[in-house]
Structure 1
C-alpha cells in the first residue's frame, strides 16, 4: 500500500474543461501552431511546466498528462515537492530544472533533486556548483546540465548576465568539470508594457549569443544549443525567434492561487 504521506502519480487524471490535462492540450496546440508558423518542426520545442506555488498533487496531475520536464523557482518548493516526484526521477522519466535565482548556500539542496539549472549568471556560482558536483562524483555522463541566464532587457529587476559578457561566461562554464553547458535562458520583456518587436528583439539577442558561442568551438560548448525563453504570454514570439524550451505555468495551472480540480482515483 503506498505511503499516504506522499501522493502517487494519478493513473486517471481529470480531463474535463479547466483541468490540468485540458489546459496542457491547449498549450501544446499553441506551441505546435507557433512552430509551424515559424517553419519549424513542433518536435523541436519542449514544454517546461513551471510549478511555482503549485501543490504536489497539481504537479502529479501534470505528470499523469504526459509532462516530462518541470521547473521550480524556489529552492524550498523544490525540496518540498521532491518526494512526490522521486519515483519519476529515479526511473529517468522526468527532468527537474531550477529556473529561479540560486544562492550559493542552497546548492546542496538543489543538487539533491534538480537534473538541470537554467540560471547560472556568474563564474563564482558556477565554480561552487562545479566543486560540489566533483566532490559528489557527478562528472562525465552524470554532469549537471546548466544554462547561462542572460538579461536581454537590461532591467535591474531581472537576474542574468549582460549579453555582451555572456559568451565569455559560457565558455568558462563549459570548461568546468561536473557541468555540461546546454544553452542559454532569458526572461523576456513584459509584453503588456512593450511592443512585440522589443520582446522579439530580446529573444533574437539571446539566439545571437548562442550562435556566437557555438561558432567559437570552444571546449565544452558543442552541446550549448538550447534556448529557454518564452512563457505563457509570449511563447509564440519566442518560438518564432528559435526557442527550444518554453516555460509555462499560468496557462497550465490557471492563475496563481487557483486550486486545480481534485484528481479522480479509481
Structure 2
C-alpha cells in the first residue's frame, strides 16, 4: 500500500467509523437503549493485516474472520504492532470440525455453532486442551434453506444437551436475516430476541450476546435488541454508500 493510498484509507476509516457510530447511537435511542449496549465488530475477512492496523488506529477494537487460515494470517500480520495485542478477534464463519484446533484459544467468541455435533466437537477439543470456549448458537430464524443453524424448535430441544458440554460456554445467539428485505430482517431480529427471552426463562442462562445485523440492516437489528453487529463492507469499502 503506497503512502497516499494509506493516508486516504486512514481518513476514510476514521470518517466512516464516526458515521457508523452516529447511526448506531440513533438506532439505540429509537429503541430506548444505550449505544454502549452494542458492540461493533469490524468484519475484516476481505482485507489484509495492514488494513486491520489502520482500522485499529481509527478506533475499531473487535474484528471478525470467517476462515481459520485468514484468522492465522491476520494474527501473524499484526504481531509487529504491540498496540494491537489487545485486539479482539471472533470467528463468525461456518467452522468445519477439522479446523477447530486452528481457532480455539485464538478467538474471543465463536459465533457460528450451528449444530449439536459441532458444539460437541468444539467442546471435546477445548476440554482436551484445558480450555472453555465462549460460543454463540446460530439460529436460522428466517427458515431460509440457504442458511445454516438450528431452527428455533430444534434449539429448544437441544439446550439441555448443549448446556452439559464442558468445553464450551453458551453466551448467546446469532442469526442472519434475509438479504434486501427490511421487513424480513425485522421479523428475524425480533424472533431472535424473543427466542433468547424464552430460553433465558427455560434455562437460567444469561444469553447476554445477540449477534445480528450487518452492513445493510444493522440499524434494524439494534432497534430489535442486537448487542453485537457484524459490519464488513460499510467499514472497509469506500464504494459502499451509507443509507
TM above 0.5, one fold?
A: yes
Structure 1: state its 5+ residue gaps: 1-12, 259-266
Q: Give the distance between the partners of 1:57 and 1:41, measured in 2 at CA.
A: 32
Structure 2 matches for 1:75-86, cutoff 5 A? Answer: 75-86=68-79
Structure 2 matches for 1:42-191, cutoff 5 A? Answer: 42-86=35-79, 91=85, 93-138=86-131, 143-191=132-180
Q: Give the distance between the partners of 2:159 and 2:41, measured in 1 at CA.
A: 22
Asked which structure has the greater RCO (Cα within 8 Å, sep 6+), the reply is 1
- Kindly indicate whether the alpha-carbon contact (under 8 Å) linking 1:16 and 1:22 is maintained by their aligned counterparts in 2: no
- Kindly indicate whether the alpha-carbon contact (under 8 Å) linking 2:68 and 2:103 is maintained by their aligned counterparts in 1: yes
- What's the secondary structure of 1:233's corresponding residue? coil
- What's the secondary structure of 1:67's corresponding residue? coil
Pairs aligned (count): 234
- Kindly indicate whether the alpha-carbon contact (under 8 Å) linking 2:105 and 2:133 is maintained by their aligned counterparts in 1: no
Deviations 1:190-246 (A, max 9, x none): 12xx3x32221111111111111111134xx23x12110001110111111100001
Deviations 1:102-149 (A, max 9, x none): 0100001112522210000111111111111111111xxxx2110000
- What's the secondary structure of 2:161's corresponding residue? helix
Q: Give the distance between the partners of 1:19 and 1:207, measured in 2 at CA.
A: 33
Compute the displacement of 1:68 (Å). 1.7
User: Is 1:21 matched with 2:4?
Assistant: no
Quote the residue 1:249 is aligned against.
Answer: 232
Compute the displacement of 1:178 (Å). 2.1
Compute the displacement of 1:174 (Å). 2.7
Quote the residue 2:214 is aligned against.
Answer: 231
- Kindly indicate whether the alpha-carbon contact (under 8 Å) linking 1:170 and 1:181 is maintained by their aligned counterparts in 2: no
Q: Give the distance between the partners of 1:255 and 1:106, measured in 2 at CA.
A: 32
- Kindly indicate whether the alpha-carbon contact (under 8 Å) linking 1:14 and 1:20 is maintained by their aligned counterparts in 2: no
Q: Larger % of helix: which?
A: 2
Quote the residue 1:213 is aligned against.
Answer: 199
Compute the displacement of 1:175 (Å). 2.5
TM-score under structure 2 length normalisation: 0.88
Structure 2: state its 5+ residue gaps: 1-5
Q: Give the distance between the partners of 2:193 and 2:82, measured in 1 at CA.
A: 32
- Kindly indicate whether the alpha-carbon contact (under 8 Å) linking 2:91 and 2:112 is maintained by their aligned counterparts in 1: yes
TM-score under structure 1 length normalisation: 0.81
